[in-house]
């Protein structure tokens, strides 16, 4: 045991050369996005006002592997490959026979997994001659990642940050500005959408759905501008599979086969990026891990939402997506895991959940912050509030193993560090963070406004 490595490192030459597209390996394809006016499947031309042709092609491709451009790999080398770490001190504190491994994505320039897709999105837009990207961000991980990526390719970056997070995480917006981005609190007076919402509710805490509407509104009104999304869409999930592909190779180097893979899920990019390569191996009969998503109890789209066609944004600018949703008008309580406060789940991940290939549980933020503290005090890394959801379930599972004696191999992803989230930890340490119940009536009210399909 003493000679077994704690950190499994790969060489730069072992960075994946392809993104993995899970669509060809599924038993049936997911329902297509629909045009909101005609209710017919959208075509590539419908997406051209928002995305460059290369990303649209990746969104619909049936190719199992999509080559990563050399210019993207060159930027990836700033932080990839990322380590797989054995959480020995956490295991010891839990007195568990389980072996816990975590893929650490917090070493990227912006401190999370988000540059894995921000860099290629900026690259393809720049190659098409786009001059500016607009986007939304919750906790600020995606906004700072896209601002960084735009700086690599000479693009301007304009970001709408959910108001609750804008106020809670001032240094995240400072980081975006450091990379050259322009940041607005959302809802903002800059857009028609934001102005309307502020007129109705001046104290609105915002939501990712509202911020998406604002970013899409601005992108759609300028020929030199396109929109970039940090989660939800197929090409975004595909870009994140570099996480799982590396983890597969690292576990193989140890001779380990996972029994359980746990990831936090809001829009779905982190969870999909970790588990899709393992799901490929499971579908091929080469391993059989349980795949478990963990979402916030304050925004539980998988565990309490419905599987239905809905808008990806609050104002109804986007195509209709078949996904697990709480309703596009649902505004979550301002929990500190801002990156998980999205009303829907990625359509591809929702489809896979409907097929019974993954599980889902929901956690309150108090349990998650307790897990974050335990992880920080044993492993030394302060995790962002988002991955504390996965860590809370990892700890719960490891304690079950302590009771049963099962030596399970548990794999999770710490998808970002929490250095910009210390005020949230301070609130937890001071006893100020509360778990606010989510009444079913709030969900029902939002679901009543689902589009008729």
Nearest CA-CA partner of 334 in 384, 299, 370: 299
Determine the average pLDDT of the residues in 54-63: 96
Determine the average pLDDT of the residues in 283-307: 97
* pLDDT value at 143 more than 60: yes
Question: Do 412 and 104 touch, CB atoms closer than 8 A?
Answer: no
Q: Please provide residue 185's backbone torsions phi and psi, each rounded to the nearest 5 degrees.
A: -75, 140
User: For the chain, what is the mean pLDDT?
Assistant: 95
Q: Distance between CA 184 and CA 382 in Å, rounded?
A: 27
pLDDT digits (tens, 9 = 90+) for 64-88: 999 999 999 999 999 999 999 999 9
* pLDDT value at 2 more than 80: no
Per-residue confidence (pLDDT) for residue 309, from 0 to 100: 97
Q: Tally Cβ neighbours within 10 Å of residue 370.
A: 15
Give the 3-state DSSP-derived string for 208-253, with helices as H, strands as E and coil as C: HHHHHHHHHHHHHCCCCEEECCCCCCHHHHHHCCHHHHHHHHHHHH
User: DSSP class of residue 318?
Assistant: S
Tokens 């300028």 belong to: 222
Per-residue confidence (pLDDT) for residue 339, from 0 to 100: 77
- Least confident span in 92-96, 207-211, 284-288, 446-450: 207-211
Q: Distance between CA 316 and CA 209 in Å, rounded?
A: 9
Q: Please provide residue 263's backbone torsions phi and psi, each rounded to the nearest 5 degrees.
A: -145, 150
Per-residue confidence (pLDDT) for residue 1, from 0 to 100: 47
Determine the average pLDDT of the residues in 324-353: 90
pLDDT digits (tens, 9 = 90+) for 362-390: 999 999 999 999 999 999 999 999 999 99
Per-residue confidence (pLDDT) for residue 94, from 0 to 100: 98
The answer for residues whose C-beta is within 8 angstroms of residue 13's C-beta and 6 or more apart is none
Q: Distance between CA 160 and CA 114 in Å, rounded?
A: 16
When pLDDT is cut at 50, 70 and 90, the band that residue 250 belongs to is very high
Q: Distance between CA 294 and CA 367 in Å, rounded?
A: 12
Q: Distance between CA 164 and CA 136 in Å, rounded?
A: 13
* pLDDT value at 170 more than 70: yes
Most confidently modeled range among 37-41, 176-180, 341-345? 176-180
Residues shown for the chain: 453
- Provide the token pair at 334: 């301002």
The runs of H, that is alpha helices, within 78-179 are 88-94, 115-127, 141-153, 163-168, 170-178
Q: Distance between CA 9 and CA 372 in Å, rounded?
A: 24
Q: Distance between CA 358 and CA 353 in Å, rounded?
A: 5
Per-residue confidence (pLDDT) for residue 3, from 0 to 100: 67
Q: Distance between CA 15 and CA 325 in Å, rounded?
A: 35
Q: Which residues pair with 7 in a beta bridge?
A: 85
Separation in Å, CA 422 to CA 167, 270, 286: 13, 22, 41
Question: Do 320 and 346 touch, CB atoms closer than 8 A?
Answer: no
Higher pLDDT, 314 or 42: 42
- Percent composition of the chain: helix, strand, coil (DSSP 3-state, to 5): 45, 20, 40
Per-residue confidence (pLDDT) for residue 341, from 0 to 100: 83
* pLDDT value at 426 more than 70: yes
Q: Distance between CA 295 and CA 344 in Å, rounded?
A: 11
Determine the average pLDDT of the residues in 163-190: 94
Q: Please provide residue 398's backbone torsions phi and psi, each rounded to the nearest 5 degrees.
A: -65, -35
Q: Distance between CA 281 and CA 285 in Å, rounded?
A: 6
Determine the average pLDDT of the residues in 201-210: 90
When pLDDT is cut at 50, 70 and 90, the band that residue 209 belongs to is confident
Q: Please provide residue 177's backbone torsions phi and psi, each rounded to the nearest 5 degrees.
A: -70, -35
User: DSSP class of residue 392?
Assistant: H
pLDDT digits (tens, 9 = 90+) for 190-201: 999 999 999 999
pLDDT digits (tens, 9 = 90+) for 308-322: 999 988 888 889 999
Q: Which residues pair with 383 in a beta bridge?
A: 417
Determine the average pLDDT of the residues in 44-57: 93
Determine the average pLDDT of the residues in 346-355: 98
Q: How many Å from the N-terminal Cα to the C-terminal Cα in the chain?
A: 57
């Amino acid at each position: 045991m003493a000679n077994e490595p704690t950190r499994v490192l790969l060489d730069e030459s072992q960075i994946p050369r392809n993104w993995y597209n899970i669509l060809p390996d599924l038993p049936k394809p997911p329902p297509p996005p629909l045009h909101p006016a005609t209710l017919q499947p959208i075509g590539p031309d419908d997406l051209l006002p928002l995305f460059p042709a290369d990303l649209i092609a990746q969104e619909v491709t049936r190719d199992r592997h999509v080559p990563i451009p050399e210019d993207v790999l060159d930027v990836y080398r700033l932080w990839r490959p990322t380590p797989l770490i054995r959480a020995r001190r956490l295991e010891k504190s839990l007195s568990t026979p389980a072996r816990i491994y975590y893929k650490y994505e917090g070493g990227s320039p912006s401190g999370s997994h988000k540059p894995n897709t921000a860099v290629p999105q900026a690259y393809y837009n720049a190659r098409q001659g786009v001059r500016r990207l607009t986007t939304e961000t919750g906790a600020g991980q995606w906004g700072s990642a896209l601002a960084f990526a735009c700086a690599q390719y000479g693009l301007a970056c304009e970001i709408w940050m959910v108001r609750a997070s804008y106020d809670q995480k001032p240094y995240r917006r400072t980081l975006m500005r450091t990379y050259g981005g322009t940041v607005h609190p959302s809802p903002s007076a800059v857009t028609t959408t934001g102005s309307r919402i502020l007129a109705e509710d001046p104290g609105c805490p915002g939501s990712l759905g509202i911020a998406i509407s604002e970013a899409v509104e601005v992108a759609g009104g300028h020929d030199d501008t396109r929109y970039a999304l940090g989660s939800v869409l197929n090409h975004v999930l595909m870009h994140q599979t570099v996480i799982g592909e590396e983890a597969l190779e690292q576990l193989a180097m140890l001779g380990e086969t996972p029994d359980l893979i746990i990831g936090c899920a809001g829009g779905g990019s982190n969870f999909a990026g970790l588990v899709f390569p393992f799901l490929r191996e499971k579908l091929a009969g080469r391993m059989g891990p349980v795949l478990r998503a963990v979402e916030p109890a304050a925004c539980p789209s998988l565990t309490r939402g419905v599987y239905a066609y809905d808008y990806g944004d609050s104002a109804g600018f986007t195509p209709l997506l078949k996904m697990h949703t709480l309703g596009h008008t649902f505004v979550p309580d301002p929990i500190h895991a801002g990156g998980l406060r999205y009303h829907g789940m990625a359509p591809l991940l929702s489809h896979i959940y409907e097929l019974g290939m993954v599980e889902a549980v929901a956690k309150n933020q108090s349990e998650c912050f307790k897990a974050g503290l335990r992880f920080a005090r044993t492993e030394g890394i302060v995790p962002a509030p988002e991955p504390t959801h996965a860590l809370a379930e990892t700890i719960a599972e490891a304690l079950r193993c302590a009771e049963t004696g099962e030596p399970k191999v548990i794999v999770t992803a710490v998808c970002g560090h929490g250095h910009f989230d210390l005020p949230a930890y301070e609130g937890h340490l001071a006893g100020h963070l509360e778990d606010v119940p989510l009444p079913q009536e709030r969900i029902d009210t939002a679901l009543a406004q689902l589009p008729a399909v």
